[in-house]
Structure 1
Amino acid sequence: MDGKEWSTWSEGAAFGLENGMAVIPYALLKHYRKLGLSGSEAMLLIHLLSFRQVEGIEFPSLEELQTVTGRSISVIAGELQKLMKEGFISIDGDNDELRDIHYERYNFTGLYGKLGTYLAVLRQESAGDQTSRSGGTPDLRAAAHHSGAAAPAGGYGTSAPPVQAREAEQGRSLFSIFEKEFGRPLSPMECETISGWVDQDRYPEELILLALKESVFAGKLHFRYIDRILLEWARNRVKNAQDVKTYSQKFRSGGR
């Protein structure tokens, strides 16, 4: 390498270092597959950590994540949903009373807890305190049990089992439909709301879409209104399209 090439290389290296450096847990890079993460999901976690450490952005938008990953917003939203559902990340909300601003940030406690538990099992096995059924690989099911998380079913590979795959596909479908109706990408908080309807409240996809339709017809297209519709239906045991039709007719006739 001659003097000119060395100068060019050093200038480029200096420019790169000036843009900041992120500290990424090596255990995540080395063991993400054993935690049931795909390469793209692990990279998404790395980007979230990097946004916080280098740019001071604790809650990057889906558009910002799309810029750095080069992937579609619906795919990113689906992966965020999975990471939240499986306890790798969560979202904390807080208020800045001085500026009267509500803001959110990603919480990585779940990720660190899973990594810590996995490494503890790895250390025990290396010391001969535990024997794995797979002949040397830490028993991730035991680690998940101790950390309060569910281990991936059907092995430790990166491909999701059929049930999880169907749930992920359902989530992406709902995200896409909501984005089309709202005419814009959904925020991470809105994605989490949809995930909560599916995973926690156990609303059928059909019912969620009917509530969305009701909000469009009412001219009140916002998540709080849709949530109120779903809650009202749940209280009145409305579970499918036929129940919605019957309930609506009864409501309009004043026979509640």
Structure 2
Amino acid sequence: MDGKRWTTWGEGVSFGLENGMAVIPYALLKHYRKLGLTGSEAMLLIHLLAFRQVEAVDFPSLEELQAVTGRSAAAISGELQKLMKDGFLSIDEDIDDLRGIHYERYNFSGLYGKLGAYLADLESEASPGGLRDRSPAGNPAGGARSDGYYSAAAAAGAEPEESRSLFGIFEKEFGRPLSPMECETISGWVDQDRYPEDLILLALKESVFAGKVHFRYIDRILLEWSRNRVKTAEDAKAYTQRFRTGGR
């Protein structure tokens, strides 16, 4: 490599470093799926952290987030609402007394609290005593249930909600962790399509019954039920019974 190219490369590195560096918790990168986050939700949190650390922007606009993520304002807004609903983010309001300006900023204490609780549970699992039952309902701490299956919702420090349990049930049926895309699909069924969760679980059961345990088949089941005005698990059971007996 000649001196000119080395200088150019060195100048490029220097320029990159001068543009700032964001410190991202490695635990977030490594364990975001165990906290019930999708890949895009985790990336959105990383961008918010970077805006604060590098740009000194505590409350980036949707337009600024669109510019760095390449996603629609509606998608970003939906994920921000979900992150706040699930306790990863909150918004602080304050007033700059010197300038008399009201401003808002994102608060990441929920994210750090959930990461800390999860890492503490990992440490507990690695200790000689193993898991200790500290929960009122008798579940081992950190979301590890008595059957050895891990609950991402409980590990996140939240009460096990139905929408959270969907991820765990699907992972158990599939026998593997879900991909970020699969988690987004489940979230879309609940948040966008408004399918009742018992209806989603029944569609999963139907896919297992048919021996076609994959998301595309489950989505087709839900779409067919929606087209035929199947809105509840009871409707689905009646519809499926008519289908199997040839009476639809």
**Superposition TM-score tier, normalisation by shorter sequence:** 0.5 to 0.7
User: How far apart are residue 36 of structure 1 and its match?
Assistant: 1.1
**Structure 2 match to 1:122:** 122
Report 1:1-256 matches (<5 A).
1-128=1-128, 129-130=130-131, 132=144, 139-144=151-156, 147-150=157-160, 152-154=164-166, 155=168, 157=178, 158=180, 159-160=182-183, 164-169=187-192
State the distance in 2 between where 1:127 and 1:75 align: 41
Deviation at 1:160, TM superposition (A): 4.2
SS of 1:153's partner is helix
For 2:11, the aligned partner's letter is: E
Computed over aligned residues only, the root mean square deviation of the Cα atoms, in angstroms, reads 2.7
One-letter code aligned to 1:55: E
Could you tell me which amino acid in structure 2 is paired with residue 153 of structure 1? S
Describe the SS at the equivalent of 1:106: strand
CA contact (8 A) 2:94 2:104 kept: yes
> Which residue does 2:197 correspond to in 1?
none
Unaligned runs of 5+ in 2: 132-139, 169-176, 195-248
1:18 to 1:135, Cα distance in 2 relative to 1, 3 A: farther
**Conservation of the 8 A alpha-carbon contact between 2:95 and 2:101:** yes
Tell me the CA shift for residue 5 of structure 1.
2.2
Task: Give the aligned residue type for 1:43.
Answer: M
Residues in 1 aligned to 2:155 and 2:34: alpha-carbon distance in whole angstroms: 11
User: Size of the alignment, in residue pairs?
Assistant: 169
- Unmatched 5+ stretches in structure 1: 172-256
- Report the CA distance shift for 1:67/1:162 in structure 2 as closer, same or farther (over 3 A): closer
Q: 1:138 to 1:26 in 2, by over 3 A?
A: farther
Alpha-carbon distance change, 135 to 110 in structure 1, aligned in 2, over 3 angstroms? same
Q: 1:134 to 1:11 in 2, by over 3 A?
A: farther
Letter in 1 for 2:191: A
Alpha-carbon deviation of 1:97? 2.9
SS at match of 2:40: helix
Tell me, yes or no, if the aligned pair for 2:151 and 2:165 is still in contact at 8 Å: no
Q: Does the CA contact (< 8 Å) of 1:66 and 1:73 recur in 2?
A: yes
Cα–Cα, structure 1 residues 44 and 115, in superposed 2: closer, same or farther, change >3 Å?
Answer: same
For 2:153 and 2:21, the matched residues in 1 are separated by 34
Q: Which residue pairs with 1:226 in the alignment? A: none
Measured after TM superposition, the shift of residue 150 of structure 1 is 4.0
Change (3 A) 1:160 1:153: farther
Pick closer, same or farther for the CA change 1:110–1:150 going to 2, 3 Å.
farther
CA displacement at 1:6 relative to structure 2: 1.5
Q: TM-score, length-normalised on structure 1?
A: 0.59
User: 1:214 aligns to what?
Assistant: none
Residue 149 of structure 1 and its aligned partner are, at CA, apart by 4.8
CA separation of 1:30/1:19 partners in 2, compared to 1, >3 Å: closer, same or farther?
same
1:118-138 CA-partner distances (Å, limit 9, x unpaired): 101111111242184599886
Distance of 2:68 and 2:185 partners within structure 1: 30
Distance of 2:66 and 2:92 partners within structure 1: 22
The whole-number CA distance in structure 2 between the counterparts of 1:80 and 1:87 is 11
1:21 is displaced (CA, Å) by: 0.7
Q: Distance in 1 between matches of 2:83 and 2:149?
A: 23
CA contact (8 A) 2:92 2:105 kept: yes
SS at 2:33 equivalent: helix
Q: Which moves more between the two structures, 93-102 or 29-38?
A: 93-102
- Kindly indicate whether structure 1 or structure 2 has the higher relative contact order, using CA contacts under 8 Å at least 6 residues apart: 1
